[in-house]
Amino acid sequence: LIAQSIRQGYDSLTKPGIRDYTHYTFAGQIGMTVTNYGILGEGYQSCVQPSCRYKLYSEYKQEQIEHFSYAGLWVGGKKNNKTIVSTAIIDGFVSDEYGSRPAGREFTSSADSADVIKIKSTFNKAVSDPVIRELASYYDSTAVSHQDMIAEFTDTSQIIPGTDVQIPHEPLGVKVHLETYCWNYPYANSFVILNYTIENISGEEIINPYVGIWADNSVGNMNFTSICEPGGGWSWYDNRNDYVDSLDMAIQSDIDGDQGWAQSYFGLKYLGSKNIVSEEDFDVYYDQWPWNGGQLSGVDHHLTPIGDNEIYERMHQYPGSEYTTIEEAASWMSLITAGPLGNRVDPQFREVIWEPGEKINFAFAVVCGLWATEDLNDTEERRAILYENANWAQRAYDLGYELPGPPPPPNIYVVPEDQKITIYWDNSPEDSTNADAYDPVSQIIDFEGYRIYCGRKTGVGLGRTLLAQYDIIDEFEVAPMGFVNYNTGLDPVRIYDENGNPTTKEFVVGGDTMTFHYKYVDYNLKNGWPGRNWYSVVAFDYGNAEKDIPSAESAAIKAYAIPGTVGNPGLKREIGVYPNPYRATADWDGFGERDRMIWFTNLPPKAEIRIYTLSGEILDIIKHDADTYDGSDIRLLNDLVFGQNPKFSGGEHAWDLITRYNQAVAAGLYLFTVEDLETKDISIGKFAIIK
């Protein structure tokens, strides 16, 4: 999936335009909806737009996992001896209709139609990758990350601006400025930082303010069983929460992983604040309770808080270090809070004061991580990836968001041919004229070489295979941590002309003519195999020995291709079908009758394929055009490489064994003809189907 393809279909959603809910993070692997009224997530209202999906760009459907439906900001304190809490959302508030609950949906944007989510990016060069190309369109020299999203909202309105819908609450009196940060660096693409700056606009002192994030966690996968289909959806009641005191992080996972479709962790982590004026009184707090007031054995005190007094009490009731996690599975809510935060301390009453007109700043992170082991028991070893990602989120905060950056990914282009695929890429990661090639911290080009990856070639399951690595020739006085320098040089993959001189190759990509400097050929491939033949070329740096920063790779721009025969004008080669005979099912097939596929091979660039029974009945007519063929008429191809724009060789066309009458063909012997539409030559052949 790419950002643009995910965004289709918003017209069906109908909220006032000033309530901006259509934007989400897409620079990294977390796709999280961010609104301009304090809520995160979109509540699984759309099966297209992610709520909190990780991994957003995985080609494996088992890894495209949702983690929460809604989450939102809570801010509470005492004003004029009265406890007031403003909440973006709490149990039961999943629409714009206000019921009897005393809290929720209490932040709003202004009535200004321009008061919508703003996006900025540090990327300033459009490349072949569509995601980076889109991010580069938001380039701003003041951006912090690869994708900043900026929203402002207040709790002071008594109605939803632009409507007459009442908001029954008493405002605390705050104005919120939220900036979310995310990166596409491989080590930093699994967390989103929420950086809040909140101003006290009430005109009164706010005593002992606490801030936090509430989340309705639910780890599940739309591809496993879509919540948008009748009778679909996964269980919300088989989740288990925990709190990791050493990381200040609440976590949740599906208790059994839904048969391999929900093997991921959700983490909600406190990062820090600039307004801890009383270290002695400050703490991080955690609570959990079953959805909407439900009770479980032994946890009667963990009920949905009702009213500002109960809500405020929950915000500073259970310090994480004193909290005992409940291991019973349920539809658990998570609440992580911090405080008190403010601008000064009243030593007489030992109270933290947030003065009128002053601001407080704090940050949380949404962190995700796939299970590190296949163990169904929740172990520390299984949490290893989540913990690593959480530590990088904390490091990003501690570094002031100035992350050491690997080189940018090169532009890549693939050309499929008969049993081989050629990968081309450019030299942008090493180009001194490319501003993105400079490390954002050291401000030097620390390019070291290229690695070429493809879909897993051996074994089963998910993963990738390293095809080759080429690095420049150099020596280090002190080798960076974990760095191995092979000193191969880049000449083995450089493009040369017939005289042996370095040259370039040009292709038109997305309407632009792009120049490539290197190539690598992957031989001995199986023609027609979908899904497995993806390639990426990543650039890597040499790290920093002084700061113990290891060598890092760029993000991987994946290019998909399906090898096969090239165009066959004039029918100079024999046209065929494979596999022939077709035995249900071929190794690449799915399980349903519409998830099958055979290939016509050695086709001319423009052709008409006709398929007949032995009695001469026409079962299907297929138009083939090598310039436009994208496999979109085959469900199996769509399922395996949907949204990836795979390259085809031009001389092959798939058929899903479904007739033009929308019926699956039976076992038997069939005839076909192929007409070259340019020369009018006709070829005749046959194939068999065995079930």
- Cβ atoms of 86 and 120 within 8 Å: the answer is no
- Pull the structure tokens for residue 643: 């949204």
- Cβ atoms of 113 and 16 within 8 Å: the answer is no
pLDDT confidence of residue 477: 63
Neighbouring C-beta atoms of residue 439, cutoff 10 Å: 19
Q: How sure is the predictor about 46, in pLDDT bands with cuts at 50, 70 and 90?
A: confident
pLDDT for 1 beyond 60: no
Greater model confidence, 323 or 277: 277
E strand segments, 164-263: 174-182, 191-200, 206-220, 239-244, 249-254
Q: How far apart are CA 528 and CA 596, in angstroms?
A: 13
- Cβ atoms of 18 and 35 within 8 Å: the answer is no
* 5-9, 72-76, 381-385, 455-459: least confidently modelled range: 5-9
Q: What is the mean pLDDT of residues 92-105?
A: 52
Q: How sure is the predictor about 293, in pLDDT bands with cuts at 50, 70 and 90?
A: low
pLDDT confidence of residue 280: 93
Contacts for 425-433 with beta carbons within 8 Å, 24 or more apart?
425/450, 425/516, 425/517, 425/518, 425/519, 425/537, 426/514, 426/515, 426/516, 426/517, 426/518, 427/517, 427/518, 428/125, 428/127, 429/539, 429/554, 430/539
Q: What is the mean pLDDT of residues 178-185?
A: 95
pLDDT digits (tens, 9 = 90+) for 15-33: 344 678 889 999 999 999 9
The residue among 85, 46, 87, 50 whose CA lies nearest residue 65 is 50
Q: What is the mean pLDDT of residues 308-330?
A: 83
pLDDT for 687 beyond 70: yes
- Cβ atoms of 367 and 249 within 8 Å: the answer is yes
Q: What is the mean pLDDT of residues 410-432?
A: 95
Q: How sure is the predictor about 657, in pLDDT bands with cuts at 50, 70 and 90?
A: very high
pLDDT for 418 beyond 90: yes
pLDDT confidence of residue 201: 97
pLDDT confidence of residue 432: 87
pLDDT for 6 beyond 70: no
Q: What's this model's pTM, rounded to 2 decimal places?
A: 0.77
pLDDT for 668 beyond 90: yes
HSE-CB for 506 with a 13 A CA cutoff: 5
H/E run at residue 398: helix 384-398
Angle at 564 between CA 657 and CA 652, to 5 degrees: 45
At 508, give phi and psi (nearest 5°): -90, 115
pLDDT digits (tens, 9 = 90+) for 516-529: 999 999 999 999 98
Q: How sure is the predictor about 531, in pLDDT bands with cuts at 50, 70 and 90?
A: low
Q: What is the mean pLDDT of residues 113-139?
A: 86
Greater model confidence, 680 or 641: 680
pLDDT confidence of residue 10: 30
CB-based burial label for 582 (10 Å; 0-12, 13-18, 19+):
buried
pLDDT confidence of residue 547: 61
Q: What is the mean pLDDT of residues 120-144?
A: 88
CB-based burial label for 288 (10 Å; 0-12, 13-18, 19+):
buried
Greater model confidence, 548 or 668: 668
pLDDT for 56 beyond 90: yes
Q: How sure is the predictor about 458, in pLDDT bands with cuts at 50, 70 and 90?
A: low
pLDDT confidence of residue 14: 36
Q: How far apart are CA 244 and CA 286, in angstroms?
A: 10
Q: What is the mean pLDDT of residues 193-207?
A: 97
Q: How far apart are CA 367 and CA 266, in angstroms?
A: 6
> Distances from the Cα of 95 to the Cαs of 73, 164, 679, in angstroms?
17, 15, 62
pLDDT for 52 beyond 70: yes
Q: How sure is the predictor about 326, in pLDDT bands with cuts at 50, 70 and 90?
A: confident
pLDDT confidence of residue 99: 44
What is the percent of the chain with per-residue pLDDT over 90, rounded to a whole number?
Answer: 62
pLDDT confidence of residue 648: 95
At 437, give phi and psi (nearest 5°): -75, -15
pLDDT digits (tens, 9 = 90+) for 571-601: 899 999 999 999 876 777 777 788 899 999 9
Mean pLDDT of all residues belonging to the chain: 87
**In this structure, is the dihedral angle defined by the CA atoms of residues 146, 532, 560 and 433, taken in order, positive or negative?**
positive
- Cβ atoms of 493 and 520 within 8 Å: the answer is yes
- Cβ atoms of 599 and 653 within 8 Å: the answer is yes
| Residue environment code for 599-620, b if the CB has 16+ CB neighbours within 10 A, otherwise e | bbbbbbbbbebbbbeeeeeebb
pLDDT digits (tens, 9 = 90+) for 471-521: 998 776 666 666 667 889 999 999 999 999 999 999 998 788 999 999 999
